């Protein structure tokens, strides 16, 4: 398992040691430093072999950082019970910070994306979402404005200063995303196990929003995150967006249990996307409240200037006024749970 804390990347050979609590338990016993790694930036620690726990831990630290000091810091950090927040375009997510990403399913025009960006920002969203390249079930449905969509997102970012998150569907588009300085790359549900794509974004220095596959287990989601982190990119946010079940009255079933379980399995921030989970706008505010209560670190919500005319996912999109109302209900809730909206 690979985890991170600030600029420390730690790697354990034991699958059981995958979150800070597990690490703390294992690390509080004595264990010896292994000198096999001569390089200053990488050390290996051999864990105790009591209670069936046996592991090796490598700490790869940033330039000039002493692994031993980092290990002590990491243990202290574990003891504080906090998780290190991840930063996206100046906004923190995780570790007590709650971030809301909102915007239309698809970028449709300059006026549309700029207007929605201003409205969701005014309501309290910190990150603008908008699809430029769209993964559609039918090849005859709107496929997104593609490169032009990326340009329009950049223009909206110029107006509001908000970072942008948008979906990357294949490796060939990476240069476009890098040129556009996309602040967070979304890997959609349909690509969660596109391992070549995961490895490619793992080589970038850009945070990744990894959405759970339509029928993927949490273990599979975490392993996909590992593909990204194993390439050196530790900045991954997991997203529960509803899964396929036997229920047909909604687009998907929101697996609210995924949040506490993922928090047990990893140290990564977890956000909920109630829009794609429900597929129907009226359910989105209630599910957003549930997301806050269950301990999610953020939300992704589709907001459209005119949902009835949206080129994709209109049925689940909120109007800007409905988004305002939703934010007004979750703000006191966040305060109650001691989270900071940012």
Q: Considering the complex, what minimum distance in angstroms separates the CB of residue 24 from ligand PEP?
A: 33
Rounded-to-integer distance, Cα 260 and Cα 70, Å: 27
Rounded-to-integer distance, Cα 199 and Cα 209, Å: 14
Q: Does 167 bind Mn ion (CB under 5 A)?
A: no
| Contacted entry of Mn ion, ligand PEP, none for residue 103, CB cut-off 5 to 8 Å set by kind | none
- Residues 274-313 vs Mn ion: string with x where CB under 5 A? ---------------------------------------x
Instruction: Identify whether the C-beta of residue 85 lies closer than 8 Å to the C-beta of residue 95.
Output: yes
For residue 180, what are its two tokens? 């556009």
Q: Which is nearer to ligand PEP, 189 or 268 (CB)?
A: 189
Binding residues for Mn ion, how many (CB under 5 A)? 2
Angle of helix 110-123 versus helix 147-160 axis, rounded to 10: 40
Interaction with Mn ion in 310-329: which residues (CB under 5 A)? 313
Applying CB under 6 A, the residues found at the interface with ligand PEP are: 105, 131, 135, 188-190, 211, 241, 276
Q: Which is nearer to ligand PEP, 135 or 314 (CB)?
A: 135
Instruction: Identify whether the C-beta of residue 182 lies closer than 8 Å to the C-beta of residue 209.
Output: no
Q: Considering the complex, what minimum distance in angstroms separates the CB of residue 258 from ligand PEP?
A: 13
Largest CA distance in the chain: 64
Q: What is the distance, to the nearest Å, from the Cα of residue 257 to the centroid of all Cα atoms in its chain?
A: 17
The CA-based dihedral angle spanning residues 15, 16, 18, 24, taken in that order and rounded to the nearest 10 degrees: -140
Angle at 86 between CA 163 and CA 72, to 5 degrees: 155
Q: Considering the complex, what minimum distance in angstroms separates the CB of residue 325 from ligand PEP?
A: 22
| Contacted entry of ligand PEP, Mn ion, none for residue 71, CB cut-off 5 to 8 Å set by kind | none
Q: Which is nearer to ligand PEP, 77 or 227 (CB)?
A: 227
Q: Does 105 bind Mn ion (CB under 5 A)?
A: yes
**Tally of CB atoms within 10 A around 277:** 24
Interaction with Mn ion in 146-165: which residues (CB under 5 A)? none
Q: Which is nearer to ligand PEP, 245 or 328 (CB)?
A: 245
Instruction: Identify whether the C-beta of residue 14 lies closer than 8 Å to the C-beta of residue 27.
Output: no
Q: Which residues bind Mn ion (CB under 5 A)?
A: 105, 313
């Amino acid at each position: 398992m690979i985890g991170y804390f600030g600029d420390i990347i730690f790697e354990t050979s034991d699958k059981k040691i995958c979150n800070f609590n597990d690490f703390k338990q294992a690390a509080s016993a004595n264990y010896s430093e292994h000198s096999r790694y001569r390089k200053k930036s990488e050390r290996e620690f051999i864990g105790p072999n009591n209670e069936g726990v046996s592991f090796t831990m490598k700490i790869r630290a940033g330039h000039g950082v002493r692994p031993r000091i980092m290990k002590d810091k990491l243990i202290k950090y574990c003891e504080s019970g906090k998780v290190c927040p991840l930063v996206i375009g100046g906004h923190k997510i995780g570790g007590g910070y709650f971030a809301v990403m909102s915007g239309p399913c698809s970028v449709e025009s300059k006026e549309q994306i700029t207007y929605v960006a201003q409205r969701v920002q005014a309501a309290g969203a910190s990150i603008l979402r908008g699809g430029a390249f769209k993964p559609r079930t039918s090849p005859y449905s709107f496929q997104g404005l593609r490169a032009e969509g990326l340009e329009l997102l950049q223009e909206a970012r110029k107006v509001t200063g908000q970072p942008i998150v948008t979906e990357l569907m294949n490796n060939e588009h990476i240069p476009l995303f890098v040129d556009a300085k996309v602040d967070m790359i979304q890997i959609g549900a349909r690509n969660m196990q596109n391992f070549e794509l995961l490895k490619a974004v793992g080589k970038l220095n850009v945070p990744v929003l990894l959405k759970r596959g339509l029928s993927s287990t949490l273990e599979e989601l975490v392993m996909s995150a590992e593909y990204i982190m194993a390439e050196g990119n530790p900045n991954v946010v997991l997203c529960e967006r509803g899964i396929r079940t036997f229920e047909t009255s909604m687009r998907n079933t929101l697996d609210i249990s995924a949040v506490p379980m993922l928090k047990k399995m990893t140290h990564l921030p977890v956000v909920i996307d109630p829009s794609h989970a429900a597929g129907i706008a009226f359910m989105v505010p209630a599910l957003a409240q549930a997301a806050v209560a269950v301990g999610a670190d953020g939300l992704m919500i589709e907001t459209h200037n005119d949902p009835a005319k949206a080129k994709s996912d209109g049925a689940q999109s909120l109007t800007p006024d409905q988004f305002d109302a939703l934010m007004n209900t979750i703000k006191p809730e966040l305060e109650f749970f001691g989270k900071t909206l940012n």
